A and B are shown apart, each in its own frame.
Chain A
Amino acid sequence: MKTAAKKIYIAFIILFLYAPIGTLMVLSFNASKTRAKWGGFTLKWYIDLFHNEEILRALLNTLLIAFFSALAATIIGTIASVAMNGMKRRTKSIMMGITNIPMLNAEIVTGISLMLLYISFGMKFGIGTILLSHITFNIPYVILSVMPRMKQFNPSTYEAALDLGASHTTAFFKIVLPDLFPGILSGFLMAFTMSLDDFIITHFTKGVGVDTLSTKIYTEVKKGIKPEMYALSTLIFVTVLILLILVNRSPDKKKS
């Protein structure tokens, strides 16, 4: 009885979180253009999607920004984690405090503060400014994923490699990096996801005529969202879901 109640509760929360996603998926097959009515099943929006250059360009921008900002944040964040681990307690806690700022600060404040920065430097708003902003808010996710791994890391293995004649660089790439890898990977994926889903900071740091999916959707809200958008987000979601299932399955296969 008690376990049944627990299962119902988990199911209720998951239903709550996934109900809008299900709704969007259903809407992507809706022949009627308005959200309010079901006009029969169609695949029209999926076909139209591939002819809609604006949406495809926004998608490309979104993916490029997500990939490169996550990559840059992963490199900077990983190096920072390695460096911070060897620091004195005081310096380290100051650095961690600063790292926490973009995570704890309001996105709107981060967005406008960066906007003011770019304006005062006379920078041209566009992909570049979005990228810099995304790297900034992505670094903390990488550091928070890598730091726990770094704490567990046994420095003796690194020293042993040095004693056995490895250079600092070789020892780092052969010993430290493989040990940190799970943390680095989850940091990268987290950063990629956060960048992909960001609207507020992009809204303040993008230039005129440059759109990511988020900002494109925001401008469409008033005119009415194009159903192609539902089709695209369904495709993205299903792709990620399938990838995750495949990734999670592969270790089992190795075991058997």
Chain B
Amino acid sequence: MTSKNKWLSAPYALWSIVFIIIPLGMILYYGLTDKNGAFTLENIIAITTAGHAKALRLSLLLSFVSTLICFLLAYPLAMILANTKVNTHQFIILIFILPMWMNFLLRTLAWQTLLEKNGVINSVLTFLNLPNLKIINTPAAIVLGMVYNFLPFMILPLYNALAKIDKNVIDAAHDLGAGSIYTFIHIILPLSVPGIISGITMVFVPALTTFVISALLGGSKLLLIGDVIEQEFTRTSNWHLGSGLSIVLMIFIIINMIASAIFDKDGEGSML
């Protein structure tokens, strides 16, 4: 079977080289050259100019906050779900995948309707005599959009990691006199690390690099690094600069990939 197997992996290996490795090489090439094809670091140093640095800082801040909120919302939920009956596994995944069948841009736009000054949420708040929310077109609205869109990518890996924990281990800890908090810190939390790392990666990277959510919920004034890169490609057509800024982004992504490779060797925290 082995000799045949090697041959069987050829189509995918070829596909990966053409559509994954070579394209990434092209970004490196464009990012490290100028219009005449000469080597330069200018496109990468461009990140330090005021506008770009500001966009990167805002992206880092908002994606960090969103990841943290996703984690705090998802962990208790994943713990509750992991303790429900075993045969609901498929159903739970379904609940969080199902929203994707309604277009992601439309779902994000719907938040405009919900958050607007006279929107649905504020009408409810006014009815209850509560102060109104004024977050549309602010960074807070972008964070909400990020949390909304990427929360399932935090819930699923956490749920998978927590559901895999052998209940006997927890029972053993209790039998040996450990309290709930002690068991949580010393048993449950360490065993769920693969899921935590995977969840953080799955939320942080898309949040850091998004350009749609900011455009839809943040008004047109707040630029994220994703917006800047997108404009370099679609409007200014400066592919060299766009690629250079992408290389800067990739540095953060690679740090993330290495972290997930170290902490999640067997893919235990995977989404599926």
Residue of B nearest to A118 (CB): B23
Chain B residues in 8 Å Cβ range of A241? 98
Q: Which of B7, B9, B91, B99 has the most CB of A within 10 A?
A: B9
Q: Which residues of A contact B (CB under 8 A)?
A: 6, 9-10, 13-14, 16-21, 23-24, 27, 35-36, 76-77, 79-80, 82-87, 95-102, 104-110, 112-117, 120, 132-133, 135-136, 139, 141, 144-145, 147-148, 155, 158, 168, 186, 190, 193-194, 196-197, 199-200, 203-204, 213-214, 217-218, 221, 225, 229-230, 233, 236-237, 240-241, 244, 248
CB atoms of A20 and B104 under 8 A apart: no
Residue contact B99 to A21, C-beta cutoff 8 Å = yes
Complexed CA–CA distance, A223 and B195 (Å): 42
A9 touches B9 (CB 8 A): no
A-B contact count (CB 8 A): 229
Closest residue of A by beta carbon distance from B22: A117
B45 within 8 A of A: no
Q: Do A112 and B27 have beta carbons less than 8 Å apart?
A: yes
- B19–A114 contact, CB under 8 A? yes
- Interfacial residues of chain B within 235-272, with CB under 8 A of chain A in the complex: 239, 242-243, 246, 249-250, 253, 256-257, 260-261, 267, 270-272
B30 within 8 A of A: yes
Is B8 an interface residue, CB under 8 A from the partner?
yes
Which of the residues A14, A97, A105, A221 comes within 8 Å of B216, measured between beta carbons? Answer: A221
| C-alpha spacing A116/B237, complex, angstroms | 12
B106-A225 in contact (CB<8A):
yes
The 25 sampled A-B contact pairs (Cβ below 8 Å) are: A6-B80, A17-B95, A17-B96, A19-B114, A20-B108, A20-B111, A80-B12, A82-B8, A83-B8, A85-B5, A86-B1, A87-B6, A98-B20, A106-B250, A107-B209, A108-B230, A108-B249, A112-B229, A114-B23, A116-B30, A117-B19, A136-B19, A199-B104, A200-B212, A213-B103
Contact mask for chain B residues 15-37; partner A; CB cutoff 8 A; 1 contact, 0 none: 11011111110110010000000
Contact check, A193 vs B103: say whether CB atoms are below 8 A apart: no
A116 lies within 8 A of B101 (CB): no
Query: Which of B12, B21, B80, B94 is the one whose CB lies under 8 Å from A76?
Result: B12
The distance in angstroms between the C-alpha atoms of A141 and B202, with both chains bound, is 14
Known contacts A9-B76, A36-B113, A236-B102; A97 and B261 CB within 8 A of each other: yes
A27: B residues at CB distance < 8 A:
110, 113
Nearest opposing residue in chain A for B6, CB measure: A83
Does B73 touch A at the CB level, under 8 Å?
Answer: yes
Distance between Cα atoms of A35 and B250 in the complex (Å):
38
Contact of B97 with A by CB under 8 A = yes
| Residue from B99, B111, B208 whose CB has the most chain A CB atoms within 10 Å | B99
* B111 contact set on A, CB distance < 8 A: 20
Q: Assess A244 versus B9: contact at CB under 8 Å? Given A36-B113, A197-B103, A233-B106.
A: no
Q: Are A218 and B257 in contact (CB under 8 A)?
A: no
Closest residue of chain A to B17, judged by CB? A98
| CB contact under 8 A between A109 and B109, given known A21-B99, A76-B12, A115-B233 | no
The answer to whether residues A106 and B103 also contact, given A95-B13, A115-B233, A193-B97 and a CB cut-off of 8 A, is: no
A96 to B229, CA, bound (A): 29
A120 shortest CB reach to chain B, Å: 7
**Cβ–Cβ contact A240 & B95, under 8 A:** no
Known contacts A35-B112, A105-B205; A14 and B95 CB within 8 A of each other = yes
B267 to chain A: which residues have CB within 8 Å? 96, 144, 147
A248 to B205 Cα, complex, angstroms = 34
With contact pairs A20-B107, A87-B5, A145-B272 given, residues A109 and B97 touching in the complex (Cβ less than 8 Å):
no
In the complex, the chain A residue whose C-beta lies closest to that of B257 is A104
Query: How far is A193 from B272 in the complex, measured between Cα atoms in Å?
Result: 14
Interface residues in B72-120 (C-beta closer than 8 Å to A):
73, 76-77, 80-81, 91, 94-114, 116, 118-120
Cβ–Cβ contact B257 & A17, under 8 A: no
CB <8 Å contact, B229 and A108: yes
Decide: A98 and B98 in contact? CB cutoff 8 A.
no
| In the bound complex, CA of A10 to CA of B92 (Å) | 11
Q: Which residue of A lies closest to B20 (CB)?
A: A101
B199 at the interface (CB under 8 A from A): no
> Pick the contact of B109 from A82, A113, A221 — CB < 8 Å?
A221
Contact call B77/A106, Cβ cutoff below 8 A: no
A106 touches B239 (CB 8 A): no
* Smallest CB gap from B5: residue in A: A86
Q: Is the CB of A21 within 8 A of B107?
A: yes
Contacts of B104 in A (CB 8 A): 197, 199, 214
> Which one of B9, B151, B256 lies within 8 Å of A17 (CB-CB)?
B151
Indicate if the CB atoms of B246 and A80 lie closer than 8 Å: no
Q: For the A-B complex with A20-B102, A112-B243 known, give 19 more contacts whose Cβ atoms are closer than 8 Å.
A: A9-B76, A13-B77, A80-B9, A86-B5, A104-B253, A107-B209, A132-B19, A133-B19, A135-B15, A186-B272, A193-B100, A199-B103, A199-B212, A204-B233, A214-B105, A217-B105, A218-B105, A221-B215, A244-B94
